[in-house]
Chains A and B, each alone.
Chain A
Amino acid sequence: MKTDRRSFIRTSAVAGAAFTAAPFIRAAAPGRKFRTALIGCGWWGKNILKEAMASGCCQTVALADVDATVLEVAADQVNALSGDTPKTYKDYRELLAREKPDIAIIATPDHWHALNTIAAVAAGAHVFVEKPTGHTVNESRAMVKAVRDSGRVAQIGLHRRIGPHHVSGIQFLKSGAVGEVGMVRVFAHGGGDVEKPAPNEEPPDGMDWNFWCGPAPLRPFNKRIHPGGWRNYLDYANGQLGDWGVHWLDQVMWWSDGAPLKRVFCAGGRPVRGAPVLNAKEQTTDAPDHQIATYEFEKFTCVWEHRRFADNNSEKHKIGAYFYGTKGVLHLGWRDGWTFYPAAKSGKIEHGAPQLQEPDGHNLALLWSDFMAAIDARRAPVANIEVAHRASVLPLLGMVSWRTGRSLAWDAATETIIGDPEANGLLSRPYREPWIYPQA
C-alpha cells in the first residue's frame, strides 16, 4: 500500500484514463466557469484542483496556503496547466472575503477542515473538502449544520463512494449473493519499525507555522510533521484509523444504509514504534502503530484493524473490507478490486477488476464530475456531508474509546455517548486562541 504521493503534473494520458470522467457538460449556464479556489495547496489539494481544471468547468481564481513557497509553486503549476493566474493568499478568510469563489476546494490537514468549510459555505461557496469531515465529532456536527443552513453543495473526498469497482462490489453485496452478512472486518496493514525522534527545526522561510497549527496545539516545527506526515500526529489528525479507516468504514455504512452504531471499543498502542517523544529538541509521531476497534450494530459487528509493522504477507489482501456472509466472503479492496470467495466448495470465485486513476489509485475525476452535476441539478452529491459525517464519526468515536480505554455506548439519535461525561467531553476539544470551536 505504499504509494508515492508526490506526483502532480503528468506528461500524458494516465494509465487509468478509461476510468476518468467524461468532461461534464453543464446544463445551466454552459458558458460560465465556476470561480474556483483551493485552500491548502499540498499534494492532494493540487490533485483535486487538477480534476477541477480537467473538467473544463472551472477557472482557478485563488489559492490559499500558509507557506509562501508552496503558494508560489502551486500558482506556477496552475498557470502551466490551465493558463489561469490565480491570486494567492496566506489567510483563507481573506481569500473568501475578497474573491467570493463559487467553489472552494479544502485540502488542509484534518484540524482545519471544520473552520475552513464553515467559513467557505458561509461565504457562499460550494465546497469540496477532504475526508474525514472533522478532527473531533462535534466539529463534524457543526459542519453538517453549516452546510445545511447554507444550502450549498458539499462533496467530501470519499472517492470510494463512486469508484466503479466499489459500486459493483456493493451491488454484488446488496444483491444477496453473499447471503446474510453477520460480520465485517475492515483493515489497512503496512510495514514499519521502531521510530527514532527527528530533530525539531525552524519552519521553512516564508511559512507561518503558527497559522498552520491554527486551532490545534502549537508543536515545534519538524519535517516529519510537514510536509506529508501530520496524519500520525494526533494534534492534527487521527492516525491510520482517521485516514484509511474513514474510507472503509464508509463502505460499511454504504452497504448497511447507514446502520446506527450502538457501541464501540478500541484498543491499541505503540509497542513497536515506541513511546511518543516531544521535547524542545526532537519529537516522534504519537499515533498508535496498531489499533483494533470493534463496532457493534444491531444486525452485525464490524472490526477495524490496522498495523504499521510486520507488513502482512501471510494474507492475500492487505487493505479493504471483508464481508462475511452465509454464502461466502466478499473482499472489497483497493488495487486488487473485489473478490468473492464462496462458502460452497462447488462455488466459483468471482472478481471485480479495480478501476482506478493511476498512479495514485483513486477515482477523483468521477467524484469531481458528480460534484459538478450536483451543483447544476441542485441535488445531493454521492459523498455529501451527511454520508461523510456518518463515516467520519466512527473512527473519531474509536479514538475516544482508545483514549478513555473503555467501551462506549452511542446514542445515534442524539449523537452522544450514554452515561459517560468524560468521554462526551472528548467529542470536542479546546481550541487555541483566537480560534473558536464551531457549534452545531
Chain B
Amino acid sequence: MRLRKSSARGHAQLAALFLAAAPLLAHAADWPQWRGPARNGIATEKGWLDQFPAVGPKIAWRAQVGLGASSFVVAGGRAFTMGHADGKDTVFCFEASSGKPIWKHSYPAELGDKFFEGGTTGTPTLDGDRLYTLSRWGDTFCFDAATGKILWSVNVQKETGCRVPDWGFTGAPLVLDGRLILNVGEAGVALDKTTGKILWKSGDKDAGYSTPLPVELGGRTLVLLGSSKSYLAVTPVDGKEAWRAAWVTEYGVNAADPIVSGGRMFISSGYGKGGALFTLGTGAPDEVWRARAFRTQLNAAVLHAGHLYGVDGDTTSIGGIKCLDFATGTEKWAHKDFRVGALSMADGLLLALSGTGTLVIAPASPAEFKPTATAKILDGKCWTAPVLAHGLIYCRNTNGAVVVVDARKP
C-alpha cells in the first residue's frame, strides 16, 4: 500500500511527461496542494541551501495577506494563499519568484475569532490550471489559476445544510478523479469539480478540521477524514463509509491529517489526547500503540525512514518538536520550547517554523535534533508549516505577514 498520487501530479515522471504543455503544468519542485506533492508534508526537492549566511537568510519577498493560518500552494511560477481583512477573505495569486501580485479575489466572510484572532484557516488546492478554495463558512470557488476568473462558485454549507463546526471548515479541497471532496459534514461531501454540483454528502454533524486524504488500501481507493468524534474512511465514488476509528478530542478538534504507511495509520490530536497507531483492514482499525505525549493539535507530523517528526502541544503551550519510532511509538528525542509551530521536510531535512517565527533547518534523524540553520524571520504566532518550492521557503504568521526565504544555491 502506498499513498495515492493525487491528480495534482506531484510525480516527477508524470511532470516530465507533460513538460511541453500549459504554463501551470506541475513540476517535481511544485507544491500544488496542502502537505505537498505526495500529501505527506515532504517536498521532493533536493539541493537547496541548508544553511543561512551569517547576516541571516536572503529574503526573496514579503507580503501582507491578512489574518489566518492558510498555507501556500506553488506551481507554474505562481504562489497562492488566503487571508482575511475588513470583513472579507481574499485569495491571492503572486508571482512565485518576486511576490508581484498577479490577481486576487475577495468575498465577504466572518472574521470567526472564537478563541483566536480569526481569519482564513484553509489552504487552496491547485489542479492543473484550476485553483479550488473553501472558506470557513462554506464558500467554495473554482478559479482559472492563471487569471483568477471564477469558473464556478457555490456555498457548500448552504447547499448541503451541514452545520459549520466551531472553527469553520478548514480542510483543503481534495481533487480526485473528477470530484472535489471537502471535509464538510460528518463524513465529507463531493462536488463535480467542473460544475460544482453536489454529487454526494454526509450527515449534518460537525466536521473535523483535517484535509481529505486519499489512500490505496486493500485494492481500493479510500478517502480519510478527521470528523468531530472519529477518523473515518469513505469511498470517493459514493461517500459510503468504509470504517471509522473512534477518536474523541476536546471541542472536536481532529485537525491533523492521518499518516498512512504499510497498512497502518497514525493519528494524533492536541488537548492532551496524544497519538495512536492503528492497523487497517476491512473492519474497524485496531490500535497498536498509544503515545500520550505526542499531541499534534493543528498540523500533522511527517513520516521519514520509519520515524515520525512533529510538533507536540497546544497553541497555548510551550510546545516542542519530537521524534517517535513509527512502529513502536517510542520517543527518540524531544526539543522543547518551540511553541506550537509546524514543520515539513525535504531531502532528509526538517524545515520547521517555531510558534514565534524562528525558521529552523535540521537533519531528520532519530539520533538527535541538531539544527544546521536557525533564523528569526517572523514575529507573532506562526501556526503554518513552511513550504519549500523551487528553492524558496514560504512562511507566514497568523497576522498575515508573509516572508519568502531564498534557499536557492547561488
- Of B110, B205, B316, most A-chain CB atoms within 10 Å: B316
Mask for A207-232, Cβ within 8 A of B = 1, else 0?
00000000000000001000110000
In whole angstroms, what is the CA distance A259 to B316 when docked?
A: 39
Q: Does B50 contact A (CB under 8 A)?
A: no
Please tell me if the beta carbons of A359 and B316 are within 8 angstroms of each other in the complex: yes
Please tell me if the beta carbons of A80 and B316 are within 8 angstroms of each other in the complex: no
Please tell me if the beta carbons of B313 and A10 are within 8 angstroms of each other in the complex: yes
By a CB distance below 8 angstroms, the chain B residues around A11 are 293, 295, 312-313, 317-320, 336
Please tell me if the beta carbons of A5 and B312 are within 8 angstroms of each other in the complex: no
By a CB distance below 8 angstroms, the chain B residues around A13 are 318
Q: Does A411 contact B (CB under 8 A)?
A: no
Q: Does B248 contact A (CB under 8 A)?
A: yes
Please tell me if the beta carbons of B115 and A80 are within 8 angstroms of each other in the complex: no
By a CB distance below 8 angstroms, the chain A residues around B292 are 80
Q: A12-B318, A77-B271 are in contact. Are A196 and B248 (CB under 8 A)?
A: no
B180 to chain A minimum Cβ distance, whole angstroms, is: 25
A40 to chain B minimum Cβ distance, whole angstroms, is: 14
In whole angstroms, what is the CA distance A12 to B320 when docked?
A: 10
Q: Which residues of chain B from 246 to 271 have a CB within 8 Å of any chain A CB? A: 248-252, 271
Please tell me if the beta carbons of B229 and A359 are within 8 angstroms of each other in the complex: no
Interface of A is mostly: loop
B115 to chain A minimum Cβ distance, whole angstroms, is: 5
Q: Which residues of chain B from 132 to 163 have a CB within 8 Å of any chain A CB? A: 163
Instruction: Other than A7-B317, A205-B229, give 10 A-B pairs with Cβ distance below 8 A.
Output: A8-B271, A9-B271, A11-B319, A14-B318, A15-B318, A73-B249, A76-B272, A80-B272, A359-B317, A360-B316
In whole angstroms, what is the CA distance A13 to B271 when docked?
A: 16
Residue ranges of B at the interface with A (Cβ–Cβ < 8 Å): 110, 114-117, 163, 166, 204-206, 229, 248-252, 271-274, 292-293, 295, 312-320, 336
Please tell me if the beta carbons of A4 and B114 are within 8 angstroms of each other in the complex: no
Nearest residue, chain A, Cβ from B336: A12
- Of A9, A11, A228, most B-chain CB atoms within 10 Å: A11
By a CB distance below 8 angstroms, the chain B residues around A171 are none
Please tell me if the beta carbons of A204 and B206 are within 8 angstroms of each other in the complex: yes
Q: Does A6 contact B (CB under 8 A)?
A: yes
In whole angstroms, what is the CA distance A8 to B313 when docked?
A: 10
Please tell me if the beta carbons of A6 and B115 are within 8 angstroms of each other in the complex: yes
A415 to chain B minimum Cβ distance, whole angstroms, is: 38
Nearest residue, chain B, Cβ from A205: B205
Nearest residue, chain B, Cβ from A193: B111
In whole angstroms, what is the CA distance A354 to B389 when docked?
A: 45
A232 to chain B minimum Cβ distance, whole angstroms, is: 13
Q: Does A279 contact B (CB under 8 A)?
A: no
Q: Does A201 contact B (CB under 8 A)?
A: yes
Residue ranges of A at the interface with B (Cβ–Cβ < 8 Å): 2, 4-15, 69-70, 72-73, 76-77, 80-81, 196, 201-202, 204-205, 223, 227-228, 359-360
Q: A11-B318, A14-B318 are in contact. Are A5 and B115 (CB under 8 A)?
A: yes
By a CB distance below 8 angstroms, the chain A residues around B116 are 4
B100 to chain A minimum Cβ distance, whole angstroms, is: 33
By a CB distance below 8 angstroms, the chain A residues around B166 are 223, 227
Please tell me if the beta carbons of B115 and A4 are within 8 angstroms of each other in the complex: yes
By a CB distance below 8 angstroms, the chain B residues around A196 are 110
- Of A5, A70, A76, A205, most B-chain CB atoms within 10 Å: A76
A334 to chain B minimum Cβ distance, whole angstroms, is: 17
By a CB distance below 8 angstroms, the chain B residues around A201 are 163
Please tell me if the beta carbons of A73 and B317 are within 8 angstroms of each other in the complex: no
Please tell me if the beta carbons of B272 and A9 are within 8 angstroms of each other in the complex: yes
In whole angstroms, what is the CA distance A223 to B229 when docked?
A: 17
Nearest residue, chain A, Cβ from B117: A2
26 contacts between A and B (CB under 8 A): A4-B115, A4-B316, A6-B115, A6-B271, A6-B314, A6-B315, A6-B316, A7-B314, A8-B271, A8-B314, A9-B314, A10-B314, A11-B293, A11-B317, A12-B318, A13-B318, A14-B318, A69-B252, A73-B248, A73-B250, A73-B271, A73-B273, A80-B272, A227-B166, A227-B251, A360-B316
By a CB distance below 8 angstroms, the chain A residues around B206 are 204
Q: A81-B272, A223-B166 are in contact. Are A10 and B251 (CB under 8 A)?
A: no
A435 to chain B minimum Cβ distance, whole angstroms, is: 28
In whole angstroms, what is the CA distance A223 to B163 when docked?
A: 10
Which single member of A14, A15, A80 contacts B274 (CB below 8 Å)?
A80
Please tell me if the beta carbons of B318 and A76 are within 8 angstroms of each other in the complex: no
B324 to chain A minimum Cβ distance, whole angstroms, is: 14
In whole angstroms, what is the CA distance A141 to B163 when docked?
A: 42
Which single member of A4, A10, A72, A359 contacts B248 (CB below 8 Å)?
A72
In whole angstroms, what is the CA distance A69 to B230 when docked?
A: 12
A117 to chain B minimum Cβ distance, whole angstroms, is: 26
Nearest residue, chain A, Cβ from B272: A9
By a CB distance below 8 angstroms, the chain A residues around B314 are 6-10
B135 to chain A minimum Cβ distance, whole angstroms, is: 16
By a CB distance below 8 angstroms, the chain B residues around A14 are 318
